[in-house]
Structure 1
Amino acid sequence: MNRLAVALAPLILAVSAFNAHAQDPHAGHVMPATPAPTRPAPDPVVRPQTPAGPAAQDPHAGHVMPPAQIQPAADPHAGHQMPAQPATVDPHAGHDMSTMAPPAQPDPHAGHDMSTMTPAQVDPHAGHDMSTMSMGPPDVPTSADNRGRPPEDSLPAAALGGPTHAADLVFGVGAMAASRRTLVRENGDVRTTAIIIDRLEAGFGDDGETWLWDVQGWSGGDINRLWWKSEGEGDFDDGVEEAELQALYSRAVTPFWDVQAGVRQDFRPDGEDTTHLVLGLQGLAPYWWEIDAAAFLSTEGDLTARVEAEYDQRITQRLILQPRLEIDASASDIPELEIGSGLSSVEAGLRLRYEFRKEFAPYVGVEWSRAFGDTADYIEARGGEADETRFVVGLKAWF
């Protein structure tokens, strides 16, 4: 037993020494005396002081160490010549930062958690070249842009060398020309004829009972027409006082207006018939006013003018109220016709008609007439009245 103890004693001492060395890596080393710590040089930049933390604890506190193994804590930098360091070292000290770019704009997404977002969600246009994009409609390719299409040959010369109408080769030029004329006439150049009885009426006033007619018509197409007009009036006791007939060529110059030119022939019981040249304008004015205006130059050199205007105001589909206005003027005095220069007369009437059919509409109404200037003097000189109001009954028709 004693021999076993003696044999294990060196091993026990080696294990004890190894444990002591593990607890203190500097145990058994001869360390020079540690110089007293020197105060660091003051930092020229005043920095905030941080409160000192608790004193560092001794890693060997509470351990029972042999007296020979207890050594003062050694400074690993003891014996090294260290320059004085400021309390807080600037990590950029000694760096030249004059050439550095200014900081970038702040990130608008700073503080956002974008770790789970895909690049397309962060910026839907990321990686797209938008420099060549236009704001117009999209350029959609068509079959003409297909490079795989076979090239098209130009038209052969024979394709344009035949007649204008291929049917001429089958039916003959003469037969097809007649057919085309019929097609144009029936579908775009229709010839029409109409007669319009605008007024066929009797008037009752202080000067007695009178009657008159105002009829016109045409024959032709939409552009060119032969137009005729006829007016006349008389007394139930004395017969016809005056009448006129116009033969005009009418040319449509706009969709609603025709220019008319021709001759006018006046008939009077005393034989003072007169012929005039006529230049007029007839059509539909704004607000559906029907206008008929003309200037007349007689063979005697007298220049006169007349303007008529009518408007149909529908009360119902069949009952229509029609205002009518007629103005006559002359450039000179015409004593034999009892016409003075300037504004000679004005007629204004209001007629109410009922259309039993579009082509047949009787009416009743009232009309006021007034002569002015020398015209009124001529009428009063023969015993007439310059101002007159009449009650009228008549018929408007067309066929």
Structure 2
Amino acid sequence: MKAHLLLFASLVAGWLPSFGANAQEHTRHPMPMPMPHSQHQPEPAKKTASPEPAAPEEATPDHSAMDHAAMGHPMPEPAPEKAIDHAAMGHSMPPAADQPITPIPMVTDADRAAALPPPNDHPVHDNSIQSFVLLNRLEAFDADAGTGLEWQGQAWFGTDINKLWLRSEGERVDGETAAADLELLYGRSVSRWWDVVAGIRHDFKPGPSQDFVALGVMGLAPYKFEVDATAYIGSSGRTSARLEAEYETLLTNRLVLQPLLELNLHGQDDERRRIGSGLSRAEAGVRLRYEVTRQFAPYVGLVREWTFGRTADFRREDDEAVNDTRIVVGARIWF
């Protein structure tokens, strides 16, 4: 009996360790509980073994901060950068900002010679003879003294520097010539816009004919005023002067408005010609013309005339109007 008990105790002692290991294994991994069909819970994530902590890295020495010269280690020289030949690689480089896209060739002697005209092939323009004729006013009018015709024109022949001028103006009233004169002048250009003129003037009317020596200037004043100022010296010490100024305003390319002012002065009374000394007569007018062509332009205008001093007295004695207003219709022609 005693022997049977010892054998049973040894068997139990050998079976208990394996039973404890199996129990531990079941405790560590419990069996999942069954879930009801109405609730679906996600399957728990599988646990992964946590990685072991990495060993600390050794500090890398900063070679750039080391003084290699003090340590006796010479620093190697940096290798020179190799220039990249973009042309050999087929890459076109854009030109610099201060360089033209197309290279400018050097100017040669042949280029300089080609830029100059052949000698004696093109004559200088101021040596060629030119001409110009202008009827600035050719108009009919209706005044207190009656109907009439008035003209004012000029022409020149010559070069740009030297010209021969012809000028004339006058009027006819009721078929009779009331005033008329003709001037023959030599003109020379003294600046880009101005000519000096000198010559003679012959008066046909009023009164007996008379001659004068003329000296004056004509040209384009600042602000594009066309100015003609001439002084005259006649026999017996008679002197006179005439000043004309006109301005052209382009309303359109063909419609032109032209104001005009004319002053006549005399040095002494001339009873035979019914002219007094000082400012004897003034005329102001405005004309509106339409240039059918540049050479031909009909116009209409309004002109006012005043007489002063002794000239006005002569007109009163002759029962003539001292001041007069007239409507004019005419044409401006040049060729």
* Residue in 2 that maps onto 1:204: 142
> 1:268 is aligned with what amino acid?
K
Secondary structure of the residue that 1:332 maps to in structure 2?
Answer: coil
Q: Which residue among 266, 271, 274 is the counterpart of 1:338?
A: 274
State yes or no: 1:375 paired with 2:311. yes
Q: Which residue among 123, 126, 132 is the counterpart of 1:184?
A: 123
Query: Partners of 1:190 and 1:261 in 2: how far apart?
Result: 22
Contact 2:180 2:206 in 1 (8 A): no
> 1:206 is aligned with what amino acid?
D
After TM superposition, the structure 1 = structure 2 runs for residues 159-198 of structure 1, keeping only pairs within 5 Å, are 180=120, 183-185=122-124, 187-198=125-136
Cα distance change, pair 269–370 in 1 and its aligned pair in 2 (3 A): closer
* Residue in 1 that maps onto 2:87: none
Give the gaps of 5 or more residues in structure 1. 1-114, 116-175
After TM superposition, the structure 1 = structure 2 runs for residues 1-399 of structure 1, keeping only pairs within 5 Å, are 180=120, 183-185=122-124, 187-235=125-173, 237-268=174-205, 272-399=208-335
Secondary structure of the residue that 1:329 maps to in structure 2?
Answer: strand
Query: Partners of 1:315 and 1:300 in 2: how far apart?
Result: 48
Which structure is higher in strand share? 2
Identity, % of aligned pairs? 43
Shift of 1:309: 0.5
Cα RMSD, aligned residues only = 1.8
Shift of 1:325: 0.2
Query: Partners of 2:142 and 2:304 in 1: how far apart?
Result: 12
Contact 2:248 2:256 in 1 (8 A): yes
Query: Partners of 1:293 and 1:310 in 2: how far apart?
Result: 12
TM-score normalised to the size of structure 2? 0.63
Query: Partners of 1:203 and 1:308 in 2: how far apart?
Result: 20
Q: Higher relative CO (CA 8 A, sep ≥ 6), structure 1 or 2?
A: 2
Shift of 1:184: 2.6
Shift of 1:269: 7.5
Shift of 1:282: 0.2
Shift of 1:258: 0.4
Query: Partners of 1:263 and 1:216 in 2: how far apart?
Result: 15
Shift of 1:266: 1.0
Spell out structure 1 runs of 4+ moving beyond 4 A: none
Shift of 1:251: 0.6
Secondary structure of the residue that 2:223 maps to in structure 1?
Answer: helix
Query: Partners of 2:306 and 2:136 in 1: how far apart?
Result: 22
CA deviations over 1:250-283 (Å, ceiling 9, x no partner) = 010010000000000111376x110000001100
Query: Partners of 2:202 and 2:133 in 1: how far apart?
Result: 19
Question: Paired residues, what number?
Answer: 219
Contact 2:126 2:161 in 1 (8 A): no
Query: Partners of 1:239 and 1:351 in 2: how far apart?
Result: 25
* Residue in 2 that maps onto 1:126: none
